[in-house]
Amino acid sequence: MASVAELAGVTIRRGNAVLLDQISLVIREEERWVVIGPNGAGKTTLLQLLSAQLYPTDGVVGVLGEVVGAVDVFELRPRIGLTSSALAERIPHDEKVRDVVLSAAYAVVGRWREEYDDYDVEQAERLLGSLRVQRLAERTFGTLSEGERKRVQIARALMTDPELLLLDEPAGGLDLAGREALVDTLSELCTDPDSPATVLVTHHVEEIPEGITHCLLLNSGRVVAAGPLADTLTDENLSRTFDMPLSVGQVEGRWSARSRRG
């Protein structure tokens, strides 16, 4: 299986702060990773590296066969689909939902004067359909609920047929029903063999969709454990990740975790 991303001894420093510390990791074509860790662990920083938005202070980051820092990022970025709250904030509220998705084909946020071809329009409609938000195509982004916005962002991230899909807290801020519906949709995506290699960041093991194959646990910029999901997501590893005694379990494919105190 070919690798889509390789990190070798990657460190990121900002002043005296070490955001990521000597991370080594290989993500292969058919793998779907979940990255779990407490606030400030370095999860978003890792996704910024994988999406070629940041360069390492030390070490080497290879993405889709290119070394980040030695390749034109404008050629690399369209091959990577990304959703994050930072990106969502840049989407104009008066932008039509269809155009939010379509404009990804041109690597822009906000439609200007581009002429889209029929193939792109069909692709945007198909993705809005598979994310179950086709009925919202004519609405403006600003009028959508948080859950609807998350789905539109995922459709946008898939618009360029990316070889690597990066989802930063895709279920963050959703209510119970919204989260469950989104986890179902992500399960469909992650179990589809035609989906790209995926890295999904979350704080909550309950948000791990079916189809996730591997897990990376981060704490204070360091890898606590990484590898196949069932071997990695153990009581001991999760407790070390969150610095508290936790027990983790799985029922009918869904993970849950709770405190072991008291």
Q: Which residues bind ligand ATP (CB under 6 A)?
A: 14-15, 17, 19, 37, 39-45, 203
Assess contact for 85 and 169: CB atoms under 8 A.
Answer: yes
Comparison of 23 and 101: residue with beta carbon closer to ligand ATP: 23
Comparison of 35 and 105: residue with beta carbon closer to ligand ATP: 35
Rounded CA separation 63/72 (Å): 12
Comparison of 37 and 56: residue with beta carbon closer to ligand ATP: 37
Least distance from ligand ATP to the Cβ atom of residue 240, Å: 16
Comparison of 18 and 121: residue with beta carbon closer to ligand ATP: 18
Rounded CA separation 234/200 (Å): 18
Interior/surface letters 230-254, b for 16+ CB within 10 angstroms, e for the rest: eebbbeebbbebbeeebebeeeeeb
Question: Nearest CA to 155 among 77, 102, 78?
Answer: 102
Place of tokens 């080594």: 24
Least distance from ligand ATP to the Cβ atom of residue 53, Å: 12
Comparison of 16 and 251: residue with beta carbon closer to ligand ATP: 16
Comparison of 129 and 173: residue with beta carbon closer to ligand ATP: 173
Least distance from ligand ATP to the Cβ atom of residue 123, Å: 30
Least distance from ligand ATP to the Cβ atom of residue 121, Å: 35
Task: Quote the crossing angle between the two packed helices 118-130 and 146-158, to the nearest 10°.
Answer: 140
Least distance from ligand ATP to the Cβ atom of residue 14, Å: 3
Report the chain's terminal Cα–Cα distance, integer Å. Answer: 45
Comparison of 14 and 93: residue with beta carbon closer to ligand ATP: 14
E-strand ranges in the chain read 3-14, 17-28, 32-36, 58-63, 66-67, 80-83, 164-168, 197-202, 214-219, 222-228, 246-251, 254-259
Least distance from ligand ATP to the Cβ atom of residue 221, Å: 7
Least distance from ligand ATP to the Cβ atom of residue 105, Å: 28
Q: Render 126-165 in DSSP notation, one character per residue.
A: HHHHHTT-GGGTTSBGGGS-HHHHHHHHHHHHHTT--SEE
